[in-house]
Structures are given as structure tokens and as C-alpha cells.
Structure 1
Amino acid sequence: MRRAAAVRHRGLRRVGASLLLLAALLLAPLAVVADWVDDTVSDTGRYVKTVAPLASDPAVQDVLIDRLTDRVVRNVDVAAVTAALGRQLQEAGASPRVVAGADALTEPLRSAVRSTVDRTVTGVITSEAFQQAWEGANRGAHAAVVQVLTGEGGGAVRAEGANVQLDVGVVVDQVQQRLVDAGFDKAAAIPDSDRTITLFRAEELSRAQDAMRVLDVVGLWVPVLTVLLAALAVWTAPSHRLMLMITATGTGVMMVLLLVALAVARRVYLDSVPPSVLPPDAAATIYDTFVRFLHNRAVTLLVASVITALTAYLYGPGRLARAVRGTSERATRAAGGALVRAGVRTGAPGRRLARHPVWTTAAVVTAGVLALLLWNDPTAGAVALVLCLMLAVLIALAVLAAAAGPAAGEAPATGQAPGTGQAPGTGQAPGAGPGGEPPEGGPGKPPDSEPGKQT
């Protein structure tokens, strides 16, 4: 009866852990997106850091230079200038041939005006002062992002119907002043209605705004709930290691799906922007710039998931895992023995490390996780760096434990590594199951035993 009750209890734990895992995996992509939206909207520094590269990108600069140059040239009446020149030549008594030749100056003069304006605008757009003005304008108008996502507020980026527009009024003012200083008085007549550039058109913008408002509200709690569900799934499962490996693998799969969704959304966005509104290279730059932190977070979680799954496997009973553990243990024992032979012994601290390997490993892993949590937006490289540091620390602690040597007046047991309580080459404590962990049914119990089965 006790065995039957234990089997039923394990079955319930499996079902509960599976349901918790399913909920956590379904919420994982939403948690990443919600956290990104909340972070970008609420943090002015993060928003400025997101849009700052646009001011120095060549594709975006070319669009701004062409648009501003066209608008300035359209406000310069070159034909009127040449006509006035012809009248003055005629009044001065010039020959009819010279007067007629004044009209032929229209196109060269228009080309010269465009060249001068283009050179002036290019100097403004490509200058460091423009990049600083761009960042300052976006920092001061951070409420514009809130307006686009929630439909409230206003600023440099705003929604007009189904269009998301960028207000370049600050840039126009700078270009106007420089052109006026250079002698182009007509540049002061650039109309205010021409100071916006449509970034993209979204027919379902209102629905997207509703979704973003929901994401902004749940941006804090959905990630917390997702982590809690995943932790409960691992804690509830009969085999914590196996469930941790499954959770990490599932999270990695969901991050791959999120990256695929971002790629599909990019293609849809580029197809929805006509080349007459925005060149494809500039549109691609704008999209990639705005979502790059979301993309980086998905890649980082994917790398972290792969590392976690591999680590959980290496602690398991698989043949490759046992081989890796055995090789590492032999290597650390050899390094510790070399230190002992060289007269370097860690003594009592080393024996304490050897007696409590689980606690030392848990402390190192906890420190690594805390470092990633406190890291400001860690990347995949940051995860790899923290992992390498954790491995280095664990190897160093294992070598120190192997270099402890016997206690005073005590000789190492025959066939046993000093101070480890392990048989050489086994990599596990006496009585442990495969991979150094007890059988899932507990000591003296066959794993997953059922009534009526012989083991």
C-alpha cells in the first residue's frame, strides 16, 4: 500500500510539474517582450540609447539630406532670379543675345543652388552637433514613445491616424539658420507642414497600441510569474535535474520561435513601406535599431538555456556525462596531487571544500546568477563570460580540495582520494546512483517502481 501511494504521489507530481512547465513556456516569449516594452518606455536613458544610432546611420542620414535639400530647393524660385537678371541686363542696354542667354542660366543656377544646399545640409546632418541635438531632442521628448505605444502625450515621434511620423523640426531650424546665414533668404520660408517624415504606416495601429498598453501594465509581473512557474515546475517534479533540463530546452525553443517571429515581422514591415515613403535600407535600419535590444535579450536567453540544459545533462547518468565528470575529477586530483608533491597543501580549508562540494558549487552558481541579474541588460557574450568565470572558480576549488592532504596523524584510506570520501575514478560517493545522484525513488528504492514489478 505504501508503494502504491508513493507511485500515485509521483504521478501527481509529474502532472503538476508538466502543467506548470507548459504555462511557463507559453508565457516566456510574452515575458521577454513585455519586459522590453516596459523597460524602453519607462526608462528615458534606454529609449535614448535605442534611437541614438539613427542619427549616425548613413542610410537614415541620406534620407534626411535628400528630403531637406528637396524642400529647400523647391522654395528657391530660380526662374524668377534668371528673369530678373534678364530684365536688368535689358535695362542696362545689353545686346539681345546676352539678354536671351540669361534664360539659359536657369538649369545651371538650379544645379548650383542644389549643390550648395546639399553641401550645407550634409554638413549639418553628419556633424557631431546634429547627433547631440538628436539625442537631446529625443531625451526631452521621451513622452513621444509613450504616445505612440499608448496614444497619450506627444513629442518627436507621434501617431497621425495610421501613420507613425517623425518630427524633424529641430533639424529644419538648424538647416534654415545656416542657409540664411549663407545668403539663401528663401530658406526661411520652409513651411511648418513639411517638418514631418512618415516612418511607417500601420493599418492596425490602434490594436497595436491597445496591445502595447496591456504589455506595459503587465511588463513587471509577467516575467516574475514566468520565473516562478518554471521554478515551481522544477521543484515539483520527482527528478529536479531532468525537469531543469526540459525547462531549459523548452525555453530555448520558445526563444527561437520569438526570433523567427521578429524576422517575419521585419519582412512584413519592409513590405508595408513604399519606397517612395522610405528607402528599403533606411526602413530596415529603423526596424533593426528599434528592436535590437529585444533581439539581444532573446539571443541571450537562448544561450543561457542551452548552457543550463547542457549543465543539467552533465550532472546526469548518461555515458558521456559520466566520462566528462570522470575526466575532470581525474584532472583535478592530478593537479591537487602535483601541488601536494610540491609541498603546497590547503589543509583544513581544503578538506572542508572536499566534504561540502554541493554547497561550494551552489554558492558559485548562485553568485553567477546574481551577477547576470545585476548586469545591465546582459548579452550572450556576458553570459559566456560569467560561465567561464564560474567554471574557472569551480576548477580552482576542486584543485584546492584535492590538495588538502591527510589530517595530522591520519593517513589517506587505501583506494580513496585524500579527504574526498570517493573511490578513485568513480566520481561519486559510495551508495550514489549513476551520475553521483541517488536513484529517483530514494535510497533503497528502484526508480519509478510500481506495484507488482520485480527489480
Structure 2
Amino acid sequence: MTPTAPAPDSHGGPAEDRPLTPEERAEYDRLRKSAAVRHRRLRYTGASLLLLLALLLSPVAVVSAWLANTISDQDRYVQTVAPLADDAAVQGAVTDRLTNRVVSNVDVGAITDALQRALQQADAPPVVVDRAEALEGPLKGALTSAVRSVVSKVVTSDQFETVWTEANRRAQAAVVKVLTGEGAGAVQASGDMIVLDLGTLTDELKARLVDAGFEKASVIPEVDKQIPLLQVEKLNQAQDAMRLLNVLGAWLPVAVLVLAALAVWAAPAHRVWLLATAVGLFVMMLLLLVALAVARRIYLDSVPPAALPPDAAAAVYDTLVRFLRQSARTLLVLSVVTALAAYLYGPGRGARGVRRTATRATGAAGRSLERLGMRTGSTGRWLDGHRAWTTGVVIGAGALALLLWNYPTPGVVALVLGVVVLVLVVLGVLAAAPGDTARAGRRPTRTG
């Protein structure tokens, strides 16, 4: 329809529409184009701000969700700390510390002095009496070796793992103690030091040592059951930040997801913006993994070797953050899959080639089914006519499965991707094998 404009009549009122003049049409097109450009710029600006905010918050959302899950989910917490009971470096640190404390409560010098007095009273030769003092070192070494043997058997036994797991299950509030300063448990904050309290475990060790004949083990001081893990300056400020992350843990990931979805929806080019979102998420998760590596180095430097050996400190850090690393790697894989899907749905030559190859392959498989007498009939015709709709449903179902999956891993992402691709291939083959009737309806009939 040709744009028209009202023309005033002799009384100033509107008259019948008349065609636009060339000058008016040019001005109309110019204004319309300018308005469209301003609208697109506004959409791009809004989408850019939403996407930038979502990407900046994504690492914080991952960390806060990890903290919230570790604190609130008892099974997740126990699953996090359980491997420490089997770690050789941690077992060695616990064995050394408990052995040293037991031996330190035995006065080996008093024993050698008593032996020396007994020898003097028995009129032993002076050379024998004088050499009695030299027995202090060998006696202490033998005592240390004997105590270490008993402690090591307890620490490396299945009983230690059971006691460790049950103690941490009963003391789930320990992590709350570290992050918020509230409650009590095996992991505690003392001043600016985060310590591991082995009180619930050393009671069993003391009983085993007493049964083995080391009565001094029953007087291990309470304070000596704590193993320093990490010294943090301004721990109160860190705890405030952790409490804030704990509060946001349930909602911040949802907010990031909503912001990213709004950014893709608001952008004029949805596919391109989805690709940009996937690339941005990939970069942010890489930065998070780098930050965790840097934090590991800072952590190891902050723990004095006298308090905790470097290998044990590394085991503690790697065990506690392993699920956080797993979440970051899962999002890395998911971002790669999303970017690949966004590219394959684009107009690029490579994407067209992949789609063309997939169509030919499913078509050939469908024709093979037809030749074998396996025709899909009306179902195949319906699938062939609704390919876009069925593809969207299958991809949406895969995305929903990942959202509902508890703690997905990179393997889970690969599994869901494989199932989605397999279902799409099967639907493509079924759509290509409706039968001879449908094939004849799509092809012109040849006459002899």
C-alpha cells in the first residue's frame, strides 16, 4: 500500500488521503530508518549491560552456590571432607602431631636419672653409672617409634575413617563456624587462625594407646588437639564476606541466569548474542580456575611448615575446593557446547556444511529403513513437517535436565549432549522414512 497523508480541506479539516510526494516519501524513509537505528542501538546497549553484569557476577555466583551447598547439605559437606581421612599426607601429619604430644608427656630424663641412682645403689661400676645418662636418646627414640607404630595403625585403619566421617556428620556446624563465626565443630576459627580440632578423634586414639600400655597418652592436653590450617589477616572481614555469599548463594545463580537470558532476548541478533554469552562464560570460568590456583599458592605460603607439612596443606586445600573446581569445569564444558550449537545454527559455510551432511546422513538412513519395509507413515510425515519444533523441544529438554540435575559434572554434560544428539538423529531418520506414499506425494509423477 502506498503511504498517504491527509490533506486539509477548505475548512481546515481532514480531507481524503493523497499519495506522498517524492520529497515526503524520502523524508518518511529517512525518519523511519533513523528510528530503527536508534531502536537497535538501544537494544544493543541494554543487552550489553545485562550481559556484562551477568558475566561479572557469574564467578561470584558459582562460589556462593558452592559455599551454600557445602554448608546446608550435610551429605555434601561430609562428602567434601571425607577424603581427608584417607589422604596419606594428612594421616602422616596427624600421626606426627599425636606421637610428639604423647612422647613429650613422658619424662625420659627422669627415667634415666632413676636408673642411674639405682645403679649407684647397686654398687655398679662407675663407668656403667656414668653411661646411664647416654641411654636418654635411645630410650626416647624407642618410645617414639613404639608410640608412632600404635598411632599409625589407628590413623590408617578403617575405624579412623569411620570416626572421622561420623564426627564431621555430627559437627556439620563446623563450616558455619569458619565462615560466620557461629556454632562449633571440627573446623574452627580461633583469632586469625583457622584450625582443625581433632578432639573427637583423639579420644579414640588415647584409649587405644592406653590399652597398648602407654598410660601417658591419657593426659594429652585439649589444646594440642588442634592443627592450624590457615592464618588469615582480618578474618572478621573475610567472615562477613562469606556470610554475604552464603545469603546470596541460593539466589545469585538464578539472577545470573535471568540476566543472561534477558540479554539474549533483548539483543536484535539472538544467536550471535547467545554465542557471545557462551564465550564470555568460558572466559570467566577460566579466570575463576586461575584465581583458585593463585589462592592455593597463597594458602600454602600462609601455613607454617611446623604447623602443617606442605603436602598435607595442599591435600587439605585441594580436597576442600575440588567441588568448586568441578563446577567451574562443568560450566566450561557447557559454554563450549552452547557456543558450538549457536555456531551450527548460523549461516556460516562450515555450519551449512555440517547441517547438509547431517541431513544427507539421516535421509540415507531413512531410505534404508524404507527399503527394509520399516516405514513411519503419518508419524514420519508429521516429524518431517515439524523439524524445527521437535528440535527445540529436544534441546530444551536437555537444558532442563541439566538445570534439575544435582551437582552436574563435565561427564554429565557430555552424557546429556550425547542423548540429545542421539534423539535428534533418531527423529531425523524417522522423518526421512514415511513410506512410498509420502515420497510419491513429494515427487512429480512420471508418465510413460
TM > 0.5: yes
Deviation at 1:97, TM superposition (A): 4.7
Spell out the pairing of 1:189-268 with structure 2 (5 A cutoff): 189-268=219-298
CA deviations on 1:357-403 (whole Å, 9 max, x unpaired) are 11211221122122212222111111111111111111111011111
Deviation at 1:408, TM superposition (A): 6.6
C-alpha distance in 1, partners of 2:205/2:129? 34
C-alpha distance in 2, partners of 1:207/1:385? 42
The AA in structure 2 aligned to 1:65 is T
- 8 A contact 2:381–2:438 mirrored in 1: no
The AA in structure 2 aligned to 1:412 is R
* TM-score calculated relative to the size of structure 2: 0.89
1:304 and 2:334 correspond: yes
1:125 and 2:131 correspond: no
Residue in structure 2 matched with residue 111 of structure 1 by the alignment: 141
CA deviations on 1:329-367 (whole Å, 9 max, x unpaired) are 111111111111111111111111111111211221122
Correspondent of 2:390 among 360, 380, 384: 360
Deviation at 1:95, TM superposition (A): 4.6
C-alpha distance in 1, partners of 2:383/2:36? 35
C-alpha distance in 2, partners of 1:268/1:93? 62
C-alpha distance in 1, partners of 2:326/2:77? 15
Spell out the pairing of 1:274-423 with structure 2 (5 A cutoff): 274-407=304-437, 410-414=440-444
Give the percent of matched residue pairs that are identical in Structure 1 and Structure 2. Answer: 60
C-alpha distance in 1, partners of 2:251/2:389? 31
The AA in structure 1 aligned to 2:305 is P
- 8 A contact 2:99–2:151 mirrored in 1: yes
The AA in structure 1 aligned to 2:145 is S
Residue in structure 2 matched with residue 82 of structure 1 by the alignment: 112
Residue in structure 2 matched with residue 438 of structure 1 by the alignment: none
C-alpha distance in 1, partners of 2:77/2:47? 38
Residue in structure 1 matched with residue 168 of structure 2 by the alignment: 138
Deviation at 1:259, TM superposition (A): 1.0
- 8 A contact 2:377–2:438 mirrored in 1: no
Correspondent of 2:46 among 6, 11, 16: 16
Where 2:442 maps in the other structure, the secondary structure is coil
C-alpha distance in 2, partners of 1:6/1:102? 101
Correspondent of 1:71 among 101, 104, 120: 101
Deviation at 1:263, TM superposition (A): 1.1
The AA in structure 2 aligned to 1:162 is D
- 8 A contact 1:144–1:157 mirrored in 2: yes
Unaligned runs of 5+ in 1: 416-455
- 8 A contact 1:348–1:407 mirrored in 2: no
Deviation at 1:237, TM superposition (A): 1.4
Deviation at 1:37, TM superposition (A): 1.1
C-alpha distance in 2, partners of 1:328/1:164? 57
1:28 and 2:55 correspond: no
C-alpha distance in 2, partners of 1:283/1:318? 50
* TM-score calculated relative to the size of structure 1: 0.87
Q: Which moved more, 1:184-193 or 1:114-123?
A: 184-193
Q: Select the structure of larger CA radius of gyration.
A: 2
The AA in structure 2 aligned to 1:176 is K
Where 1:158 maps in the other structure, the secondary structure is strand
- 8 A contact 1:354–1:402 mirrored in 2: yes
Q: Which moved more, 1:312-321 or 1:71-80?
A: 71-80
Deviation at 1:94, TM superposition (A): 4.7
C-alpha distance in 1, partners of 2:136/2:311? 34
1:170 and 2:214 correspond: no
CA deviations on 1:171-214 (whole Å, 9 max, x unpaired) are 22122111111111122222222111111100121111011011
CA deviations on 1:84-134 (whole Å, 9 max, x unpaired) are 234344445555454445434322221111111000010111111111111
1:152 and 2:185 correspond: no
The AA in structure 2 aligned to 1:365 is I
The AA in structure 2 aligned to 1:154 is A
Q: Specify whether residues 182 and 353 from structure 1 end up closer, same or farther in structure 2 by C-alpha distance, changes over 3 A only.
A: same
Residue in structure 1 matched with residue 15 of structure 2 by the alignment: none
The AA in structure 1 aligned to 2:75 is G
C-alpha distance in 2, partners of 1:147/1:181? 34
C-alpha distance in 2, partners of 1:357/1:409? 17
